[in-house]
Structure 1
């Protein structure tokens, strides 16, 4: 395996987050790193500034805002032939000490790991529940429907595994905000499903890796900080709606048979109603804040 490691990040006017992302990479590994910025149409100049400041950065212009998974797939196709492992991470991640090296060491312990993810901290220092079960009808459905009204409900707690002590273990899926991916596994499942513009592409990837016989492994000895929402915060109502569309796509794919049509209709109706409520609430809150 070559010492060089490729890190793919999708940029969409990332602002100062990108510089912190690149500056802290030296904390994460001693390996030579090449960063591929798959740019989805930034207008703030941040990717161009990074290109000038950091000699190990490459810029891949996708030509439009193609969504997260599609941009990652383009970067992998363009740059990653012949690699064994690569990183996919949001540009608002800040790297903890040896975080990438610890993920790579774990990949050696888990030869069937298709994806490995670190412990992710929110800006306030709390641990984000980034390692989760796959959403079942009951567990995932109750989390989706009652979670916004009753955050401490037992279904959400089980789904998010938030009451489980951090330990290195195989899980259903890992947050796509920071992943070490095995190139062979990623290729076997044809990468991210490009129907997902944003949200749920990481859940879908984890599920498809598992179905193909690979594992998704949580590695809490590796830590990163995730600022979260640098792009989604611009239009929260739009992105809440997109989340519900992606959730329906994911669920409908898992129950595709003709006799499961009533179940798909129920998913669509419940998610549509919930989307209308949260989008209206978001727009009202934003209007009050102006």
Structure 2
């Protein structure tokens, strides 16, 4: 088997449904398997996967094992020559795997690669490519200076070597993954992708960034910027520093104190407004079919609903919410349109095929919007 797509899910059933539809399309002509490991979501996730995606291998954990441990568990059952480590709040274009696997097959000492990630507003996510966070870089990052943390030596749309990739989407060979022993389970959540990337480099592998292919990562669905997040993130940074750049007991303790102080000094960011609180007055239905009556009822009278073809969408389109109907569109078209309008006042929602809900996110640091009818 060529490819195993491994998705770790935790309390994001609707985003997972959209993700799985995009993965199915991207693996249609590839010898591939899809594995979903759920960390005890206790919601609709199990029913959704087993009912609507019966071909997916579903692992239902009775507790939250964390990121590293759950992925390692799923990887033991994976059969592909390549593993795709994937978040459930991602959306892939149809040619994603064909493009990236063809690139990987041509590289010498290939370790892993990652694509260009964009958020739910179409904006580029700089964590798509990062540098090694040695102590100096890590402290600068945690005080707000990201100039050395992100791999700005590469442009957003370039293809080239990138030291550190992001675990939201990481394509890695099965052999390299097992040679490393998988993710380090000392990391519960955050930091394990940095550690894996760095260990690949230490073994002589090369990591690549492919800026010529874009993948949506809503991000805010799995990462709410509250104090728990900051504590976990800074703890992960301390584990990484102690593991790879230890300066002795006193220096390590001092670094831990600094990181704890920074974590507790961060303020929780407010969650984003829900759909009902939107200020936009137009909703554009992007499809070749009529807008569902239930959706019209939900949106009106706050918004005027009208249909629009993709070839009618330009940067001069009056601001509104664009609703992409996946019964009629490709994910490639959706991603391209979002990037075209990324700096506009428009917002984006996606309706998975044959579903009675739309969802999306307007900022990478906040919870997104879900509207059911």
Q: Give the TM-score category using the shorter length.
A: 0.7 to 0.9
- 1:21 alignment counterpart: 19
- 1:126 alignment counterpart: 123
Q: What CA RMSD, in Å, does the superposition of the two structures yield over aligned residues?
A: 1.9
Q: Select the structure with the greater relative contact order (CA < 8 A; seq sep ≥ 6).
A: 1
Contact 2:135-2:245 at 8 Å conserved across structures: no
- 2:93 alignment counterpart: 96
- 1:37 alignment counterpart: 36
Contact 2:110-2:206 at 8 Å conserved across structures: yes
- Cα distance in 2 for partners of 1:47, 1:160 equals 36
Question: Counterpart of 1:86 in 2: which secondary structure?
Answer: strand
Output one character per residue of 1:3-39: Cα deviation in whole Å (capped at 9) or x when no partner.
5x21100111212101110111244242143211111
Indicate yes or no: 2:117 matched with 1:117. Answer: no
Indicate yes or no: 2:231 matched with 1:231. Answer: no
Output one character per residue of 1:172-219: Cα deviation in whole Å (capped at 9) or x when no partner.
110100011101101111000011110000000001111111111111
1:137 deviates by 2.1
- Cα distance in 1 for partners of 2:190, 2:112 equals 17
Contact 1:199-1:246 at 8 Å conserved across structures: yes
- 2:268 alignment counterpart: 282
- 2:149 alignment counterpart: 159
Q: Name whichever structure is richer in helix by fraction.
A: 1
1:47 deviates by 3.1
Output one character per residue of 1:126-175: Cα deviation in whole Å (capped at 9) or x when no partner.
1111111111222222111x21xxxxx4xx12321247313211211101
Q: Which of the residues 137, 140, 146 maps onto 1:139? A: 137
Indicate yes or no: 2:256 matched with 1:268. Answer: yes
1:48 deviates by 2.3
Q: Go from structure 1 to structure 2 and tell me whether the alpha carbon gap of 1:256 and 1:163 turns closer, same or farther (over 3 Å shift).
A: closer
- Cα distance in 2 for partners of 1:64, 1:232 equals 19
Indicate yes or no: 2:206 matched with 1:215. Answer: yes
- Cα distance in 2 for partners of 1:32, 1:19 equals 21
- Higher Rg: 2
Question: Counterpart of 2:101 in 1: which secondary structure?
Answer: helix
Segments of 4+ in structure 1 off by > 4 A?
A: none
1:72 deviates by 0.5
- 2:245 alignment counterpart: 255
Give the aligned length: 268
Q: Go from structure 1 to structure 2 and tell me whether the alpha carbon gap of 1:256 and 1:140 turns closer, same or farther (over 3 Å shift).
A: closer
Q: Output aligned runs, 1:163-174, within 5 Å.
A: 164-165=154-155, 166-174=157-165
1:262 deviates by 3.0
- Cα distance in 2 for partners of 1:169, 1:190 equals 26
Which segments of 5 or more consecutive residues in structure 2 lack a partner in the other structure? 272-373
Question: Counterpart of 1:125 in 2: which secondary structure?
Answer: coil
- Cα distance in 1 for partners of 2:93, 2:148 equals 27
Q: Go from structure 1 to structure 2 and tell me whether the alpha carbon gap of 1:46 and 1:61 turns closer, same or farther (over 3 Å shift).
A: closer
TM-score of the aligned structures, taking structure 2 as reference length:
0.68
1:54 deviates by 1.6
- Cα distance in 2 for partners of 1:109, 1:174 equals 19
Stretch of structure 1 that moved more, 156-165 or 125-134: 156-165
- Cα distance in 1 for partners of 2:90, 2:204 equals 29
Q: Output aligned runs, 1:180-195, within 5 Å.
A: 180-195=171-186
1:100 deviates by 1.5
Contact 2:13-2:48 at 8 Å conserved across structures: no
- 1:206 alignment counterpart: 197
1:254 deviates by 1.6
- 1:150 alignment counterpart: none
- Cα distance in 2 for partners of 1:134, 1:109 equals 25
Contact 1:21-1:92 at 8 Å conserved across structures: yes
Output one character per residue of 1:33-64: Cα deviation in whole Å (capped at 9) or x when no partner.
32111111011112321221123211112321
